[in-house]
Amino acid sequence: MSIVLVTGSAGLIGSEAARRFHDRGFDVWGIDNDMRSVFFGVEASTAPMRSQLESELPKYRHFDADIRDVAAVGEIFSDGARDIEAVIHTAAQPSHDWAASQPHTDFSVNAVGTLNLLEAVRNNCAGASFVFLSTNKVYGDASNSLPFTEEDFRFELDGNHQYYEGIPEDFPIDQSTHSLFGVSKASADLLVQEYGRYFGMSTVCFRGGCLTGPGHAGTELHGFLAYLMKCIITGRPYTVYGYGGKQVRDNIHSSDLITAIEHYLESPRTAAVYNIGGGRASNCSMLEAIQLGTEIAGKDLDWHYSSENRVGDHMWWISDLTRFRQDYPDWSLTYDISGILEEIFEVNKARWEAEAR
């Protein structure tokens, strides 16, 4: 028996990982206690996805455990010690807005929870690869100092600028505003790197841009494209925060991200760090996303503008994918923004319309 253990297994990336590695013949152990419903309310609950995984995947085993619980985590890893080949750690408190309201919870989930998992791997299955879903928020808002040009619908860099193709991994993280969420994730990110270097473990930090897909339970505080499309379909009001709606995000489909993880696990490295996102192939501003989403849905969006941007928010973020492509040249993106939004619309349209009635 070969086990891939996935934390946050009923979330967007975790469930995609569970299905992919189950299809490849692995036993999949999932840890998820539906903290997302605590963070964002019942509409963000991962319980429906957990039920799907348990009913559809015969080799899936679920653990309703909290990654902050040292004893519970240790027991799970002790049970599977000889057979765990990889840990894909996606569980997190993912919102910088929510983190400011509950700093202790945010830090304990993101930083301490990651430490608990790393220790469990080191003590039980040190040969397993550890994949951590980090975030571009570890860089703070330093990218906002770049010399952007303000265009009609977005901010943009000159084509000759060194960061035109995206922000690389050696971009500075100091002297910037991160949000408390960014700090808790940066702490976890450094722990993952240090366990790789200090203990010789195979570890990787994927510093993601916007992670998205049709399985995202998008809410106002987390899940940009999914929540936008949900608001368009249901008629729910939508608020754009700051920067004239011209802030740019790259977006990567959950399937493309899991494929990147597969490539890493086939040839793991020690203390690897990669910026991962849609890059130049899959990015949009808020205004561009609204325009494209309404075209796909054939409906207008009831949106409003707040001049106050979110603390630590990026004016422009595109991930430079060069380092990952150099190390794993067979990987490529298969979705762009249009394809992502179209799939979110097609998969969720009927359900969201029913919910709005």
pLDDT digit string (tens) for 21-38?
Answer: 999 999 999 999 999 998
Task: Tell me how far apart the alpha carbons of residues 316 and 72 are, in angstroms, rounded to a whole number.
Answer: 40
**Could you give the CA distance from residue 265 to residue 267 in angstroms, rounded to a whole number?**
5
Strands 248-253 and 283-285: antiparallel
Nearest residue to 202 (alpha-carbon basis) of 262, 269, 267: 269
- pLDDT in the model for residue 96: 83
The C-alpha atoms of residue 139 and residue 205 are separated, in whole angstroms, by 13
Can you tell me the distance from the alpha carbon of 11 to that of 217, in angstroms, rounded to the nearest whole number?
A: 8
**Tokens 């609204």 identify what position?**
290
121 vs 254: CA distance, rounded Å: 25
Say how far apart CA 270 and CA 203 lie, in whole Å: 5
Neighbours of 62 (CB within 10 A): 18
User: Which residues sit opposite 5 in a β-bridge?
Assistant: 29, 87
Pairing relationship of beta strands 303-306 and 238-241 according to DSSP bridges: parallel
pLDDT given for residue 47 in this prediction: 94
> 60-63 and 84-89: which strand pairing?
unpaired
**DSSP codes joined into one string, 5-18:** EEETTTSHHHHHHH
User: Which two tokens mark 262?
Assistant: 């597969």
d(CA 241, CA 60) in angstroms, rounded, equals: 40
CA 212 to chain centre: 7
Q: At what angle do helices 47-56 and 12-23 cross, to 10 degrees?
A: 0
Q: Which two tokens stand for residue 320?
A: 């430079």
Q: pLDDT at position 205, please?
A: 98
The pLDDT value given to residue 220: 72
| 185 neighbors 225 (Cβ within 8 angstroms) | no
AA letter at 238? Y
Encode 301-334: b = buried (16+ Cβ within 10 Å), e = exposed. Answer: bebeeeeebbbbbbbbbbbbbebbeeebeebebe
Residue 223 has a pLDDT of 67
Q: In 222-328, which residue ranges form alpha helices assigned H by DSSP? A: 224-234, 254-266, 286-297, 322-327
Per-residue confidence in pLDDT tens, the chain, 357 aa: 699 999 999 999 999 999 999 999 999 999 999 999 988 888 888 999 999 999 999 999 999 999 999 999 999 999 988 899 999 999 999 888 889 999 999 999 999 999 999 999 999 999 999 999 999 999 999 999 999 999 999 999 999 999 999 999 999 999 999 999 999 999 999 999 999 999 999 999 999 999 999 988 777 766 689 999 999 999 999 999 999 999 999 999 999 999 999 999 999 999 999 999 999 999 999 999 999 999 999 999 999 999 988 888 899 999 999 999 999 999 999 999 999 999 999 999 999 988 877
